[in-house]
Amino acid sequence: MKISELGEFPLIARASKYFSSVGMQNPDVSLGIGDDCAVWQPSESSYPSVLLTTDTLVEGVHFLQQTVSWRDLGWKSLAASVSDIAAMGGVPVVALMTLGLTGNESVEAVDQLFAGATECAQTFGVTIAGGDTIRSDFVIVGWTVAGTALAPDRGPARVLRRSAARPGDIVVVTGWCGSSAAGLDVLLRECGGVQSLVLAHQRPLPRVREAQWLLSRGIECATDTSDGVFESCRLIAEASRVQVNIDARVLPVHDDLVRFAREESKDYALYGGEDYELVFTVTPDALSDLLEEWGRSFELPLTVIGRCEVLPDGVQWVTVAHSPAGIHRFSHFGSETQ
pLDDT digits (tens, 9 = 90+) for 194-232: 899 999 999 999 999 999 999 999 999 999 999 999 999
CA-nearest of 322, 315, 164, 318 to 245 is 318
Distance between CA atoms of 210 and 297, rounded to whole angstroms?
9
Taking each helix axis from N to C terminus, what angle separates 195-202 and 179-189, rounded to the nearest 10 degrees? Answer: 110
Closest alpha carbon to 150 in 67, 79, 219, 73: 219
Instruction: Write down the pTM of the prediction.
Output: 0.90
Out of 2-6, 120-124, 286-290, least confident range: 2-6
Walk me through the domains of the chain, giving residue ranges and CATH numbers. 3-22+30-148 (3.30.1330.10), 162-337 (3.90.650.10)
Res. 152 pLDDT band, cuts 50 70 90 = low
- Where are the alpha helices (H) located in 272-330, listed in sequence order? 284-297
The confidence score (pLDDT) of residue 21 equals 66
Tell me how crowded residue 8 is: count the other CB atoms within 10 A of its CB.
16
**How confident is the model over 245-300, as pLDDT tens digits?**
999 999 999 999 999 998 899 999 999 999 999 999 999 999 999 999 999 999 99
Per-residue pLDDT tens for 43-95?
766 677 899 999 999 999 999 999 999 999 999 999 999 999 999 999 999 99
